[in-house]
């Protein structure tokens, strides 16, 4: 079995590469990644000498490069994690989100059609459903909830999902799509809420909470996302969408306070800053389908996952300090200064 994992130098893709190489000793994993600001070879350093792992630096929107890799590798399965993934950056500069998330997905599926494939899996997001109101805790996203996007990021991900479904219907491409809630865990790029708050708290820097901190996210430990995708690519029904989430809703303020408590830091570090434009209020996944059809359940509770995550950031300071001391500094200045 040979699997192409795109975006494998990023947060979830990197965790998936490690997960699959550990779980299967007869699978070859081929990583295809453009190494944007979010891609990091240090994440893949532990597997670079594994004979069952190969890395290609390539852009999924570069048709010639992608076709060349498919021609050479002839993969059985493609799992597409490659994306521009940060909502705030999509508000600053939408066009790269369309280029990678929509056009790149199209190129990958064309390659799958041209060279033949057993399964193309699109890693999508719960953000394609828009948001839910805070005063309706009875409402959840199911796979039939209409797409209703808020940011250029989520609009690009929803567009890609529609394209994937069109390639299934029109060209009979054997596809699956998963839509997951917010992940957290090792190798998470420090622009995102949880690693940003851990890093800032460790430096006694202000913790910038958007608006009132009342927005709700449904947090899932990254390894549980990997186990769900593993099940879907092997046992999921072709043409289907599967929601992934563990019923673990928390307000942003709750999450930030848990991190401060774990690190024994003062809540005075919290600074309320100007809200994100178009900020989604609440995400909440109904994971009934993947549970009943495929038997998937998350293994890690938030109380344990957040402790493991904080420990990872404490034990791997070089990994994230190399990022925050690089180009990321300029992004941070631009995004947060005077906010
Ligand atoms: P990330 O930003 O950490 O990593 C993205 C990776 O894709 C990086 O390695 C980057 O170099 C690579 N990449 C970007 N553009 C590329 C291109 N044109 N060609 C090849 N590689 C390219 O993202 P993540 O948080 O790991 O998210 C991975 C996927 O999961 C995304 O598709 C995202 O939409 C989806 N998702 C993320 C979450 C979450 O909580 N992070 C939740 C649900 C779904
Ligand atoms: O739901 C899945 C999505 O989760 C993925 O599709 C995205 O790729 C991923 O980035 C994530 O999107 P969010 O916008 O929910 O994640 P982020 O970490 O950027 O923000 C989480 C919440 O924290 C959100 O309500 C905004 C808030 N926030 C974020 C940052 C970076 C702050 O209050 N302060 C901050 O500095």
Q: CATH code at 128?
A: 3.40.50.720
Please choose, from the candidates 176, 145, 142, 177, the residue with its C-alpha nearest in 3D space to the C-alpha of residue 287: 142
Model pLDDT, residue 21: 98
Supply φ then ψ for residue 281, to 5 degrees: -75, -55
CB burial class (10 A; 0-12, 13-18, 19+) of residue 223?
buried
* Residue 105 CB less than 6 A away from ligand 1: no
Model pLDDT, residue 149: 98
Number of domains the chain is built from: 1
Q: 153, 167, 187, 313: which is the annotated catalytic residue? A: 153
Tokens at 142, concatenated: 């199911």
Q: Are strands 119-125 and 28-33 parallel, antiparallel or unpaired?
A: unpaired
Render pLDDT for 100-113 as a digit per residue (tens, 0 to 9): 999 999 999 999 99
Instruction: Give the Cα separation of 306 and 25 in Å (integer).
Output: 29
Q: 28, 127, 161, 218: which is the annotated catalytic residue? A: 127
* Residue 10 CB less than 6 A away from ligand 1: yes
Spacing, Cα 211 to ligand 2 middle (Å): 13
Q: 33, 126, 230, 249: which is the annotated catalytic residue? A: 126
Residues in CB range of 195: below 8 A, 6 or more apart: 184, 188, 189, 313, 320
Cα 7 to Cα 17, 48, 53, 315: the distances in Å are 10, 15, 14, 24
Model pLDDT, residue 75: 98
Identify whether the C-beta of residue 81 lies closer than 8 Å to the C-beta of residue 29: no
Tokens at 290, concatenated: 């993947």
Spacing, Cα 287 to ligand 1 middle (Å): 22
Residue ranges for the chain with pLDDT beneath 70:
none
Model pLDDT, residue 280: 98
* Residue 332 CB less than 6 A away from ligand 2: no
Active site residue 153: yes
Identify whether the C-beta of residue 150 lies closer than 8 Å to the C-beta of residue 276: no
Render pLDDT for 255-307 as a digit per residue (tens, 0 to 9): 999 999 999 999 999 999 999 999 999 999 999 999 999 999 999 999 999 99
Domain that holds residue 205: 2-275+282-335
Active site residue 184: no
For residue 4, list its beta bridge partners: 30, 78
Model pLDDT, residue 85: 98
Active site residue 127: yes
* Residue 36 CB less than 6 A away from ligand 1: yes
Identify whether the C-beta of residue 154 lies closer than 8 Å to the C-beta of residue 101: no
* Residue 150 CB less than 6 A away from ligand 2: no
């Amino acid at each position: 079995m040979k699997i192409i994992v795109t975006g494998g130098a990023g947060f979830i893709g990197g965790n998936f590469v490690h997960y699959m190489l550990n779980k299967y000793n007869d699978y070859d994993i081929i990583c295809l990644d453009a190494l944007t600001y979010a891609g990091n070879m240090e994440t893949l350093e532990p597997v670079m000498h594994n004979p069952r792992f190969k890395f290609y630096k390539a852009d999924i929107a570069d048709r010639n490069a992608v076709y060349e890799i498919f021609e050479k590798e002839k993969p059985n399965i493609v799992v597409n994690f490659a994306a521009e993934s940060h909502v705030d950056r999509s508000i600053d500069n939408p066009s790269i989100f369309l280029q990678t998330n929509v056009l790149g997905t199209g190129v990958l599926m064309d390659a799958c059609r041209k060279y033949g494939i057993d399964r193309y899996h699109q890693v999508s997001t719960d953000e394609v459903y828009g948001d839910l109101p805070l005063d309706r805790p009875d409402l959840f996203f199911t796979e039939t909830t209409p797409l209703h996007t808020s940011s250029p990021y989520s609009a690009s991900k929803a567009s890609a999902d529609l394209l994937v479904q069109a390639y299934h219907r029109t060209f009979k491409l054997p596809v699956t799509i998963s839509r997951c809630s917010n992940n957290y865990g090792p190798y998470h790029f420090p622009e995102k809420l949880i690693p940003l708050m851990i890093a800032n708290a460790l430096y006694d820097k202000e913790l910038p909470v958007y608006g009132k901190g009342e927005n709700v996210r449904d947090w899932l430990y990254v390894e549980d996302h990997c186990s769900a995708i593993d099940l879907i690519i092997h046992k999921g029904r072709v043409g289907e969408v599967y929601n992934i989430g563990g019923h673990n809703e928390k307000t942003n303020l709750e999450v930030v306070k848990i991190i401060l408590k774990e690190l024994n830091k003062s809540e005075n570090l919290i600074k309320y800053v100007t809200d994100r434009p178009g900020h989604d209020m609440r995400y909440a996944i109904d994971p009934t389908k993947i549970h009943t059809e495929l038997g998937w359940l998350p293994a890690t509770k938030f109380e344990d996952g957040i402790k493991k995550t904080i420990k990872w950031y404490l034990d791997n300071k070089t990994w994230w300090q190399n990022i925050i001391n690089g180009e990321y500094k300029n992004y941070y200045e631009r995004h947060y200064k005077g906010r």
